[in-house]
Amino acid sequence: MKNLKKLLSMFLAVVMLMGLATGCAFGPDDEGEGENKDAWDFANQEIDPDTGLPYMTKENIELTYFNFDSEVLTQELARRFEAKYPNIKVNVVYVTANVSNDTLSTMVSSGETPDCFMFTDCDFALSNELLGDMTWLWEHDKENENLLPTINELKLGYFYTDQKWATPMKFFPGIIFVDKNVVKHFNLEMPTVDWTWDEMITLIKQTTDKTVEPAYYGLGVYNRLDSYYGIAASQDIVGEFGFNGKTFDLSVWAVGEQEFADLKLQGYVAPDRETQAMEDWLDNWDGWAGASGRVAIMTEAYWTYLNLFDTDAYKVDLGVNFVPYPIPSVEEVEGVANTIATLDFGGISATTEHPREAYELLKWMGWGVDGWTERLKIYADESFTNSSGLPLIRDSVPAPITLDEEIWAAYKEFYYDGTENDEYWDTYFANCIRPVPFGWLAIPGYWTFCDQYFNSIGIHNLVDTGAAKAADYADEATAQANAYHAEAMMEYFGIDINE
C-alpha cells in the first residue's frame, strides 16, 4: 500500500510539473484557476495601506469556525467579531479535541466544510487536503511582524515547503514549576532563571528524601523529561526527536529518554496517580503529586497554574508555592532559548469562498491584537464561566502569540499576586517567547511515525522499567522516522527530500 501511494504521489508530482494540476488540491493556483479564482487573487485586489491586506468585503456573508478551544469563549469572540463586521455572520462549531478529526471529516464529507478551523495534527489536515494556501495573506500582513519570533524564523506552518498552510492559534509555553517551600525545606537556594539541564537534575536529586513519611520527591511528572530534552539539547534542533528541518536523529532523544528512565528507576520521581505506589505514599489511591506539598519540581501543563496552583485551595490549604521557570537548556544559551511548547494550529479551508475574511476570522480567534484585546476583556469578566461554573480565567488560558506590549501587560496581571512571586512571572514571561511546537503539529509524517511505529512497540515502558536501553532503539527509530517524513513530503507536496 505504501509503495502504491508513493507511485501515485510521484505521478501527481509529474502532472503538477506539466501544469495539469493545481498542486495538492489545497486551493487555486497562481493562474487563478478554480471556482474561487477572484477571491484568492489577493495581489490584484485593493489593498488597505494600514494592514497591507485587501479590504474586507462589504457583502453579507457567513463564515464557520471549527475549534476545540473554549466553547463559551469562541462564541463570545464570534459575537464581537460580528459587532466589528456587521455584514458577517459567524457560526461557531465547538468540539472536544478527542472527536475533532472525526467531526471535521463528517462535516467535509457532508459538504459543510468550515471556512477556518483548528486541527489536532498536521498529518490529518494535510492527508485530507483541508488546508488553503495563505502565504500571500500571511506574508503581507504587517501585524505578523510582531509575533513570537520562532513562528517566522522557523516558518511554522509552512511544513518545509515554500507555502504557508497553517499557523499557531494557541500558545501554552513550556514551563517548569518549582515549589519554593520544598526548596526552603532542604535549605537550598532557588535556582537562577538561566539554569542548565544538569542544574535541574541536581536539584531533583537534592530534594528527594525517602527517609521521612510521607517522602519528598524531586520530580513529579505530567510531561516526561525526554519530551523536553529534544529541544533543550541544542538550539540547532527545530523539532522533536532531533529533527533539524530535514532529518531526524533519535540519538538525541535516547539521551533524554534514558536519563528520565534512570531517575524513575532510582526513585527520584513521585508515583503516578491510581497506583499502589501512590496509595503507599499519600494513603490515597487517587492522590496527586502536585497537591502533596512534598515535590520540588512539577512538569505540569502551563495552564495548571491558573487552574489550580493559584487558588487558595493550593496556596493556603495545601501550602504549596509553585513559581515558574523556563525549561532549561543543556548548554548555557546567550539570550532567550528555544523551548518546547504546546502550539495548537489552525488554517483556512482550501474550499472557502471567502479566504480573505476566513483569514481575518482565524486571526481574530488566534493571534491577532484585536481578538486578544477582546479575549482579555472576556477573561476579566467572571460572569463568563465554563460548563463547570468556573470563570474562564480558570479554564486553560493560553498565552498571547502577539508580542504587543499592551496585550502582554494586561495579560500578566492575571498572574500577579502582589508578592515576590511577581518577579518570577516577569522573568519567566521574558524567557518563554521562543517556542518550538511538539512534532505532530509541525512535522509531516511525525504523528504517523509515532502512531504506527514508536508508540506501537511501547518504547517508553520498556526503557522506564529497565527492560531495554533507549540507545538500543535509536538507529532503527531514526531510520523509521526519516522514512515516514520522506513519504509524507512526497505524498502531501510531491517533494522528494532526498534530492
Question: Is residue 274 classed as helix, strand or coil in its secondary structure?
Answer: coil
Question: Is residue 34 classed as helix, strand or coil in its secondary structure?
Answer: coil
Query: Contact, 258 vs 229, CB < 8 A?
Result: no
Distance CA 229, CA 101 (A): 29
* Pairing verdict, β 116-119 and 339-348: antiparallel
pLDDT averages per 10-residue partition of the chain, 499 residues: 37 34 39 57 94 96 97 98 98 97 96 97 97 98 98 98 98 98 98 96 98 98 96 96 96 97 98 97 97 98 97 95 98 95 98 98 98 98 95 97 98 96 97 97 97 94 96 97 98 94
* Number of Cβ atoms within 10 Å of the Cβ of 471: 14
* Pairing verdict, β 435-437 and 339-348: parallel
* Pairing verdict, β 167-172 and 339-348: antiparallel
The pTM of this model reads 0.92
* Angstrom distances, CA of residue 334 to CA of 232, 326, 329: 14, 14, 11
pLDDT confidence of residue 37 = 62
Distance CA 243, CA 231 (A): 9
Residue identified by cell 485530507 is 128
Distance CA 233, CA 293 (A): 30
The residue type found at 130 is L
Distance CA 372, CA 143 (A): 13
Class of domain 35-172+345-410: alpha beta
* CATH 3.40.190.10 domain residues, the chain: 35-172+345-410, 176-325+451-480
DSSP H helices in 321-415: 355-365, 369-380, 405-412
For every residue of 110-173, which 3-state class applies, written as one string? CCCCCCEEEECCHHHHHHCCCECCCHHHHHHCHHHHCECHHHHHCCCCCCCCCCCCCEEEEEEC
Contacts for 5 with CB less than 8 Å, ≥ 6 apart: 487, 491
Q: Cβ-count burial of 145 within 10 angstroms (0-12 exposed, 13-18 middle, 19+ buried)?
A: exposed
pLDDT confidence of residue 38 = 75
pLDDT confidence of residue 36 = 58
pLDDT confidence of residue 489 = 98
pLDDT confidence of residue 281 = 98
Instruction: Tell me which CATH homologous superfamily contains domain 176-325+451-480.
Output: Periplasmic binding protein-like II (3.40.190.10)
Q: Cβ-count burial of 46 within 10 angstroms (0-12 exposed, 13-18 middle, 19+ buried)?
A: exposed
